[in-house]
Structures are given as C-alpha cells and as structure tokens.
Amino acid sequence: MKCKLIISLVILAVPLFSTTLLAQQVTTKELPYLVRSVEAMGMGGAYYGKSDSKYAVFYNPAGITRIKESSVDIIPLTVGLNTNAINNVTTIIGSFLGGNTATDGVASLINVLMRKHTSFGPITFFPAYASNRFTFGFFSSTDVSLIAYNQVVPEVALRIKSDNGFSFGMANTFLKDDALSIGISFKALARANSKLTYTAPALANAINEGTWLDDILSGLVGNGIFSDGLGFGFLASVGAMYNLPILEPVRPRVALSINDVGFTLLGSSVDPVIPTVNVSLAFSPHYRDIVDTDIVIDVVDILFQNKDDTSFFKRFNIGAEVRFINTFIVRVGLHQGYPTVGAGLTFKFFKLNYAFYSEELGAYVGQLKDSRHALELVFRI
C-alpha cells in the first residue's frame, strides 16, 4: 500500500508531460560565427592578420590584397563534424535500421546522446570569385547540434543555424611599398534558426508521429518571412593591415578589422549578429623561395561586444601556416587554448584542406571542450 502512495504522487505528475516542448532552451556558450574557413581553423582560428582568400570578407577584408592568384571556386564544399558525431549517428541509425521500434530508438538516442554534444558543421557551400582586388560569392553555411542532458527529467536539445547570402569585398594598397592595405566587404544575410527542446515523451511522440521535421520547419519558417526563426541583415566590415618597417626578414604586420556592422531584422528566436572589433599581429618569414610561413596572433571581439561572454582567452588565438613550394601546407595553432592542426594540398584546379580543432562550449576555457574535424574540397578554375 505504501508503494501505491508513492506511485500516486508520480502518476499525478506524468499525464501533464505527454508531449511537452520546453519553452526555455539550455544552450552552450560557443562564440558566434558567420562563416568559418577550414584554413583558419587549422591554424587556431588566427586568421585576421592573414585573410588571403575569399574568406577575407568574413575575417579581414584588407586581406583581399594578399590573394596571390585569381580563381573561381565552382564546387567549394566544407563539411565539419565533431568527434562524437560519427559514433552517435551510427548508433542511432543502427538502432532504427535494426528493426527497433521508434520508442526503442528514443531510449537509444537518449542514452547515446546523454551529455555528449553532437554537432555537424560548418556545412558550407561557398562558390566565389576572388582576386587581389575584389571578391564576390554566394554562401550557405549550416551548423546543427544535438545534446541530451538531465538524468532526472531527460531532455534533448536540438539547434540548427543556417546562414545564407551574398558577399562582396574589395581592397587596395596604399603608401610606399604597398605597406598599408584597406578593404571593405558587404554581406546580405538570411539567417534561419530552429531551437527545439524535447522532453523524452515529446521526442518519442515526434518520432512515432513523424512530426519532428514539421517541428524543425515550423521553427525555421513557421510564419513565412515573419517567422520567429528567420532573420535578415545587411552587414559591412572594414579592415586594415599595415606592414611594420622593422624586422624586415620576418615581415611583421598589424591588422584591425571592424566586422558585421549594419542593419538586421531578426525574429525573436534568431541568434543576433554581433559586431566585433578584432586585432591581429602577424609575421610572414620565408626561406629561399621554398618555404613560406605565416604566424598570426589574434584577439577577436577585443571590445567584448558579445556581452554574454566575458572570457578573454576564448577570444585569443595563435596559429602558424607553413607552405612548401606553395603546394603542400601544414598548419598548427592554439584556438582558445586548445591545440589545432591542419593540412592542405593546393593545385591549379583543385584544393583540399583539413583541420582538427577544438571549440570551447563552456563559460571559460577548459570547461567544456568540443573537438571537431573539418574538410574542405574545392574545384576551381
């Protein structure tokens, strides 16, 4: 009988939670990005003093003047995922394909995902033209993350962020020996966010009823262009790089960029675009025309415009890139205090870049590390 009393207390509570989506989402504290470069991630994310690619429009537009060859990237695809993703997704798919019912699948999903952040991203498609005076392109970059938490009342949080738009940047050099580069870039941005938190029964229900896709889509475009999950913006960035007239063999330079200032119209659940001021110190020693190097030290968002995050070391990156005969590339770095490595192959019509890096998801460096792989494949003319 005593059991019945205990049970009755719980029974009273349970019918209330059959298909509940929680209103408040638990989120990690990853610094926000628009579009990330795999080259940059390989060298610790320290790229504001380099920016010698089409990605200059997202880092430092002044870097456009450092682009060595004009090219058109016609099939440029980046795929990233974290180290948990492969195991977790394999287990989940295996559970469903193995003939398990949806409810078994939910149990498997919760167990597999519990406290293990699973992320896919950046998944980027960025066809663009780039020369050492201007660049333009279309970009589409999506990040997906999933985590289960709370061993007492299990919940699963799903976040999708997709940035799509058009970018244009131009830059020029000034002063003697082209010591000063100044660039500017513009971006027309459409951002879609879907943030869902499922309780365990709500997730089971969504899978059983097949409504999970509707949940995601309604979060993104539930009310058309006025959806809470959609946002638009017109953003501008300006940047400068100055070659210091000292230590000539290592060619030091300083860089400054003011990024993503402009007009935004964002739905209430869309992550804001935060303007940032970024500074960089870089060196580019080279050795007998065989080996070229870039060493970059960055502090991003130096004015702490992102007020939700007060950590200095999450903003501090160091990286180095070594190029052998401009074809074989090795990159190393420290991103938010975590080591990164990268490698690349560059040929006339083909480019391949890989990066392994870790992103801090916690409030301070060292609290919650998320290790990730990213691969970029580019066919170009």
Looking at residues 343 to 372 of the shown chain, list those that interact with another protein (rule: CB under 8 A).
Answer: 361-369
How far is Cα 49 from Cα 59, in angstroms, rounded to an integer? Answer: 9
- Supply φ then ψ for residue 349, to 5 degrees: -110, 5
Q: CB under 8 A: which stretch of 34-42, 176-184, 220-228, 282-290 binds another protein?
A: 282-290
- Give the range of 267-275, 337-345, 349-357, 372-380 binding another protein by CB under 8 A: 337-345
Give dist(CA 82, CA 96) in Å, integer. 22
User: Can you tell me the distance from the alpha carbon of 381 to that of 71, in angstroms, rounded to the nearest whole number?
Assistant: 6
Kindly determine how many residues on this chain lie close enough to bind another protein according to the rule CB under 8 A. Answer: 86
Question: Residue 246 or 381: which CB sits closer to another protein?
Answer: 246
- Binding residues among 22-61 for another protein as defined by CB under 8 A: 22-24, 26-29
Smaller CB distance to another protein: residue 1 or 381?
A: 1
Q: What amino acid is encoded at 267 in this protein?
A: G
Residues 84-143 that bind another protein (CB under 8 A): 103-104, 106-107, 110-111, 114-115
**Nearer of residues 161 and 187 to another protein, judged by Cβ:** 161
Q: Does 17 bind another protein (CB under 8 A)?
A: yes
Interface of this chain with another protein, residues 181 to 210, rule: CB under 8 A: 199-205
Q: Which of 260, 309, 359, 376 binds another protein (CB under 8 A)?
A: 309
Residues 317-336 that bind another protein (CB under 8 A): 318, 320, 322, 332-334, 336
Nearest to 257 by CA among 280, 282, 235, 283: 280
Residue 68 binds another protein (CB under 8 A): no
Candidate list 134, 186, 283, 357; residue touching another protein; CB under 8 A: 283
Q: CB 156 → another protein: shortest distance, Å?
A: 11
Q: Find, among 311, 272, 269, 370, the residue nearest to 25 by Cα.
A: 269
Smallest distance from another protein to CB 206, Å? 9
80 binds another protein (CB under 8 A): no
The residue ranges of DSSP E strands in 267-315, in sequence order, are 276-283, 286-287, 291-299
The number of residues in the chain equals 381
- Smallest distance, Å, CB 371 to another protein? 11
Extended strands (E) in the chain:
71-82, 118-125, 128-130, 134-149, 155-174, 180-199, 230-243, 253-266, 276-283, 286-287, 291-299, 316-324, 328-335, 338-346, 350-360, 369-380
Cβ proximity to another protein: between 137 and 333 the closer is 333
Identity of residue 103? T
Which residues inside 137-176 make contact with another protein, applying CB under 8 A? 147-155
Place of tokens 């628009």: 34
Distance from the Cα of residue 374 to its chain's centroid: 10
